[in-house]
Amino acid sequence: MSSKLERKQAAAEAALESIRKGCRLGLGCGSTVNEFIRLLGEKVRRGFSVRAIAACTQSEAVAREAGVPLEESSEDLFPLDVLVDGADEVDIRMRLIKGGGGALLHEKVLAFSTYKFIVIAEGEKLVDELGKFPLPVEVAPFGFAGTLKRIRKEAARVGCVGDIALRRDGKGKVFVSDAGHWICDCAFGNIPDPESLSIRLDNIAGVMGHGLFLRLASVVLLGKEDGVMVLGDSDGLILR
């Protein structure tokens, strides 16, 4: 597999093999998830059925184009059977940084509401230590300045210091997440203790969510040049 696209498709194909007909399926966000959705659409056109919900508007659009029917959030849809989502970084312990696409709160809601969380990504997303990718933190616009000060203070207490930038769109306007909030991208560098940082961020009023996804992934599928690397429980997966 010489190209990024081929590696993404390989991870997506491996995940698709574990999706059972009629299951309650969460669709995360990102370019690798888009490949999964397109492959799923091919199966749907051949008569395969799922009950799907998408975490972001981009995935919704790709699903509609691919012919994957989506449902509104309803009580009988949860818990999901499977969530398939991407990652901006993953370490060997299957700890993730997510949220580069701007839907991290919706993604985390689905991650906490599923029996099996399958992460798909290309192999270069595997890192020795989380943090090279700036950590997204989703915040309420109200009281933003105070929330930002608190983020800096609490992060510094666990050895995380660096520039924190309010995310903006291509026109220079403040980026608004799928949930209607703002996002701060925290360039802390390596995060020595993700668990402690996660707890501190969770306890800040005004922080709606953050991109540390810890102890949530069931299995990670990484598309590499020589095949698909598997982290975690591969039960039910058929790898090519």
Q: Is the peptide bond before 141 cis (omega within 30 degrees of 0)?
A: no
Task: State how far the Cα of 201 lies from the Cα of 190, in Å rounded to an integer.
Answer: 17
In one letter, which amino acid is 131? G
- Our separate counts of H helices and E strands in the chain read 6, 13
Options 35, 60, 89, 107, the catalytic residue: 107
Question: In this structure, what DSSP letter does residue 126 have?
Answer: B
Determine whether 195 is an active site residue. no
Contact at 8 Å (CB) between 125 and 231?
Answer: no
Question: In this structure, what DSSP letter does residue 175 have?
Answer: P
Contact at 8 Å (CB) between 55 and 107?
Answer: yes
How distant, in Å, are the alpha carbons of 59, 60, 116 from that of 27?
A: 7, 9, 12
Residues noted as catalytic = 107
